[in-house]
Amino acid sequence: MTPDRTTIPIHTSPVPRAQPMKRHHSASYYAHRVRESLSTRISKFICAMFLLVLFFVGVIAFILWLSLRPHRPRFHIQDFVVQGLDQPTGVENARIAFNVTILNPNQHMGVYFDSMDGFIYYKDQRVGSIPLLNPFFQKPTNTTIVTGTLTGASLTVNSNRWTEFSNDRAQGTVGFRLDIVSNIRFKLHRWISKRHRMHANCDIVVGRDGLILPKFNHKRCPVYFT
């Protein structure tokens, strides 16, 4: 007889995994990390403060620019009359008179005006000119009144032009343009700007009686520089 063979099971234990080795850093390493983190925070704080200061400086500069930048003088036509317009042969007695106010709207800035001249235009053709003011200085928020009267040699109106006036008057209105010209400079304390060639254009319409129509009276005149 063949002897029985008994199979003895063999139990194998799992091989333990190698545990990762923990790195032990030195004290100098941690001190370096702390210094690096602190430097980063300080750099960020300095950058933030610099940007904040730059922002406030920009806001202050913008406010100063708004308050100190020059504003153009403001011209308003107050009165305008063409005498004799109702007379068919009134060219011999033709007379144009006007009244204009000039306001310096600047709170802290004065304006130097060189000699000022006035020109009257009809259908873009000059019909008269006159010197208005000698050089003068206008203080801040000050108003200057300018008056002008054109007669005789200061008017270049012939009989043909007067006939055109009369024809327009028959239609109800006659249109003119007053151009006031001067060189101006702005003054802030000791600072004085360069000269600017200034034009104030006042569009005017008179009625059959030669008087300015109410909607054009006290009207603000556009101002531009050349």
Give start and end residues of each alpha helix (H) in 3-95: 27-68
Dig out the tokens for 88 from the structure.
């068919």
Q: Which residues contact 200 (CB under 8 A, 6 or more apart)?
A: 73, 75, 100, 179, 180, 181, 221, 222, 223
- CB neighbourhood size of 88 (10 A): 10
Q: What CATH class is the domain 74-225? A: mainly beta
Position 156 pLDDT exceeds 90: no
Position 38 pLDDT exceeds 80: no
Reported as a pLDDT band with limits 50, 70 and 90, residue 120 is very high
pLDDT of 69 reads 77
Position 226 pLDDT exceeds 80: yes
pLDDT of 76 reads 98
Give start and end residues of each alpha helix (H) in the chain: 27-68, 159-171
Q: For the residues 82-87, what does the mean pLDDT come to?
A: 83
Q: What is the pLDDT of residues 165-184, one digit of tens each?
A: 989 998 999 999 999 999 99
CA distances from 143 to 74, 107, 135 (A): 9, 13, 15
Position 192 pLDDT exceeds 80: yes
Position 7 pLDDT exceeds 60: no
Q: Which residues contact 32 (CB under 8 A, 6 or more apart)?
A: none
Q: For the residues 26-30, what does the mean pLDDT come to?
A: 62
